[in-house]
Structure 1
Amino acid sequence: MNAWSDRLALIVITLWVGALWVVGYVVAPSLFSQLAADKPLAGNLAGRLFELVAYIGFASAAYLLLHRLLRSGIFALKQGFFWAVVIMLLIAIAGQFGIQPMMADLKAQALPSDVMHSDFADQFSLIHGIASVGYLVQSLLGLVLIFKGRQ
């Protein structure tokens, strides 16, 4: 593999992990803090940003997996970096196409009330908690990408 594709891989890692960390641990909490009087609006904005991060993750994972396979061949399957990307991608897919639709469905069922002031609040909180744990795992696996991205 040549130097430009290795450099691009580092940029992709920076974009993906940076987006995960900034949106999840800076922007989303700031939205809920600043929009405390309108938590549904804060949640909708945060949800849109998490959706954007998921799509950044899909594209990033595709490039990183292809790059690693072309660079290392079958030996990529023995690398922690490769499997960290795979797990991060699977979590992003599960979140975007599994967990997020369940949360949206509960919000829709709760209308015209806010889901957190409805009979669905406990179920929504449980699903949100699962999503949060998945996001934390993704965020921590991002450290693997950062530390092993040059290897």
Structure 2
Amino acid sequence: MGAQRLFILIAGLWVGSLLAVGYLVAPAIFSTMTDRQAAGMVAGSIFRIEAYLSLIVCIGLMVLANLLVNRGLHQFRIIRWILLAMLLCSIAAAFIFIPWMNSLRDDALLQGMPVMLSPSATLFGRLHGASSIFFMLQSILGIYLVWRLSDRQQ
């Protein structure tokens, strides 16, 4: 029972952090800062930290979910699939989208211009759109995860 409660607590805090960063913190940064380039760099740094945190938490929850399944809590089998999908979103963010966008931004800054005025602006915009879709998918999966965990029937 204690492991299951710990699982629910960690999952709730983690999903809450995803939602807070993506839908409260990032918009607040862009609405507060007048320099869009600097705001993007700050938001990108926060999303990078969130992606690494998500990797660690998700792997830990998957290990704990396996333990709970082995203890006979078979409702955590579907939870493992949700976590796997969320882990794939985190991997895509941490190791594909964020580094690629940072590289494009750094290259543009070396040329003395913001990334949105550089020749890479279109690619950067597409990567940003794709990463936003992955983040939204991860958010929806996270909400579904917490919803399933809150169901007493499971």
The verdict on a shared fold, with TM-score over 0.5 as the criterion, is: yes
Asked if residue 51 in structure 1 is aligned to residue 48 in structure 2, the reply is yes
CA distance in 1, matches of 2:49, 2:82: 20
**TM-score in terms of structure 1 length:** 0.90
CA distance in 1, matches of 2:75, 2:119: 46
Asked if residue 92 in structure 1 is aligned to residue 97 in structure 2, the reply is no
The alpha carbon displacement at 1:80 in A equals 2.5
The two structures, once aligned, show a CA RMSD in angstroms of 1.9
Match of 2:77 among 76, 79, 87: 79
CA distance in 1, matches of 2:37, 2:54: 25
CA distance in 1, matches of 2:2, 2:26: 34
CA distance in 2, matches of 1:9, 1:147: 13
Match of 1:68 among 65, 72, 77: 65
User: How has the CA–CA distance of structure 1 residues 122 and 61 changed in structure 2, closer, same or farther, with 3 Å as cutoff?
Assistant: same
The alpha carbon displacement at 1:77 in A equals 9.8
The alpha carbon displacement at 1:75 in A equals 8.2
- After superposition, the C-alpha distances for 1:50-89 in whole angstroms (9 at most, x for unaligned) are 1121122112112211111111139869832111100101
CA distance in 1, matches of 2:6, 2:76: 22
Q: Is the 8 A contact 1:77 1:83 kept in 2?
A: no
Partner of 1:124: 124
The alpha carbon displacement at 1:101 in A equals 1.1
Taking the TM superposition and a 5 Å limit, the aligned residue runs for 1:1-150 are 3-35=1-33, 37-73=34-70, 79-111=77-109, 112-150=112-150
- Aligned-residue sequence identity (percent) comes to 34
Most deviating of 67-76 and 44-53: 67-76
User: How has the CA–CA distance of structure 1 residues 46 and 76 changed in structure 2, closer, same or farther, with 3 Å as cutoff?
Assistant: farther
- After superposition, the C-alpha distances for 1:13-40 in whole angstroms (9 at most, x for unaligned) are 11211111000001101100111x2111
The alpha carbon displacement at 1:4 in A equals 2.1
Count of residues paired in the alignment: 148
Q: Is the 8 A contact 1:21 1:139 kept in 2?
A: yes
Unaligned runs of 5+ in 1: none
Unaligned runs of 5+ in 2: none
- Give, as a single letter, the amino acid of the residue that structure 2 aligns with 1:110: A
Q: Is the 8 A contact 1:16 1:53 kept in 2?
A: no
- After superposition, the C-alpha distances for 1:82-106 in whole angstroms (9 at most, x for unaligned) are 1110010111011111111110111
